Chain A
Amino acid sequence: MSALLSIRGLTAGYGGLPVIDGIDLDVAPRTVSVIIGPNGAGKSTLLKSVFALTRIEAGKIAFDDRDITGLATAELVPIGIAAVPQSRNVFTTLTVAENLDVGTYAAPPRDRRAVEERVLTLFPDLRAKLGQPAGTLSGGQRQMVAMGRALMSEPKLLLLDEPTAGLSPAYLERIFDLILGIRAVGVTILMVEQNARQALRIADRGHVLVNGRNFQSGTGMELLGDENVRRSFLGGGTA
């Protein structure tokens, strides 16, 4: 199967020294891929580079067999990429319904209602909160609004930056379930996760980044079973 997203030799940063250096990464369609690694490994930078939020020094990014290196963020949303930042990822003074609506502006769907209905089927919790300002919701519910907003542009690829950061263990499980639900409707997911062990458990593919370089890749299960990965990045113990 040819990759939906293909990254080759990507070196990028924020103008100073590059944060990631020569990264290669492929994401197959309709899969969940997770990027893990220690703090400062460049996980978020890699994700932001795909979404044109960093300065790319070298390398190529291809999406859907098309070179997207150098395209602006506003151009990426219409061709099928959406992203959810780690923090400040909802419009707090806008209602939940308005947050979802804003998600359609960059790539207006033919049938807005049908898309909203699909999103609300994925996140049934939001249905009762549609008229409420997003700022009044709990952390987990905000994460759902943020993912819902991104899905309103009907992306093929959804980028998630630490979707479970700061959430309670109960919500953590719930968010991972929802991510599998999103995959089930045909959306490919590339995410960065701090809760590496749980993330690898649901991931089709995992990529370990260390010091801005590829360290190891494999299926989620392979990485969970790998002695080296377990000792260095999963805090030891059994999977």
Chain B
Amino acid sequence: MIEFVNFYLIPAFTLGAIYALGAVGISMIFGILRFAHFAHGDVMTLGAYGTLTAVWLIPLPPLLLLPFGIALAIVATLAVDRMFYRPLRKLATIYTVISSFGVALIFRSLAQLFWGAQNEVYVPGVQRPLVFFDTIRVSALHIEAILIIIVIALTLHVFLTRSRLGRSMRAVSDEPELAAVSGLDTDRVIRWTWIIGASLAAIAGTLAGLDTDVHPNLGWNLLLPMFAASILGGIGKPMGALAGGMVIGLAEELSAYPWLGDGPLISPSYKTAVAFFIMVALLIFKPQGLFKGRLL
């Protein structure tokens, strides 16, 4: 039982938090800009490298240096929106989707160019886990990740339901033409969608980098489960995407638990297949997701 909590459940929540933070951005961007942002994983990668660079220069714990990763991710997404997505906005969204594939490659190549293709770690050496009640062993990172996701979920909920900007975002996601007729500033809403999506992606990227290591494929490798999470949550529903991320994270990690007999139920190397399987099954049987989002 303790083994289940220590080695499966808590890591599962951490993985879920990483997916959830990425999936929120994907879901919001889909809701407001109406396209699947395939470069979102690579925004995470840039965020992770932004934090890493700060760690090299400033002797503080990585999580305190998150603002640097966030800043890099925001600047990068606002720049590509201006250069590649905005000029295509009036065309069918498939052009923007394809363009985001290109942006994904650009981000990944730039990361490799500036930081190299090797694996980097934020803090060298083995991190000692914290021990509670002599039995529960948790790494500080996992506690931090779970705290971060709780704070962000609450903040996001209040922001979307209470603030003017949050309500405007939901309005644009709901009925873009009516939002324009109501005189809402759609460009401002789009700008903030990128800022929020990029910030959360940078946090997710840094957490993923802390959990394992930082490399140019970091975010790209997580893209599929994050898409699965945002579809599960109902596309265009940020809170749903948060829940979807947790579900996918739990499903992936817990699928490797020896539920029957001694060996893992599903070999850990097939983890991503679990997310893929959930995504395909949803698209076939429940394409609007669990929270009644938009159809893809």
Contacts and interface: CB of A to CB of B under 8 A. Distances in A.
A149 B182 contact: yes
B180 interface: yes
A104 to B, nearest CB: 9
Contacts of B164: 101, 105
B183 A77 contact: yes
Interface in B183-231: 183-185
A10 to B, nearest CB: 19
A91 B183 contact: no
Contacts of A150: 182
Given A91-B175, A102-B179, A149-B182, 18 more contacts: A53-B181, A73-B181, A73-B183, A83-B181, A88-B175, A88-B177, A90-B178, A91-B170, A91-B171, A91-B179, A94-B171, A98-B161, A98-B170, A101-B164, A102-B167, A102-B184, A105-B164, A106-B184
- In the A-B complex, the 7 residue pairs with the smallest Cβ-Cβ separation, listed nearest first, are A106-B183, A77-B183, A91-B174, A74-B183, A91-B171, A102-B171, A93-B174
B93 interface: no
Nearest to A101: B167
A103 to B, nearest CB: 6
Contacts of B182: 77, 102-103, 105-106, 149-150, 153
A59 interface: no
Interface of B: 161, 164, 167-168, 170-171, 174-175, 177-185
A107 interface: yes
Interface residues of A, number: 26
Contact of B180 (A73, A94, A98, A105): A73
Interface of A: 51, 53, 73-74, 76-78, 83, 85, 88-94, 98, 101-103, 105-107, 149-150, 153
Nearest to B185: A74
A105 B174 CA distance: 16
8 contacts: A74-B184, A91-B171, A91-B174, A91-B178, A92-B175, A102-B167, A102-B179, A106-B184
Contacts of A94: 167, 170-171, 174
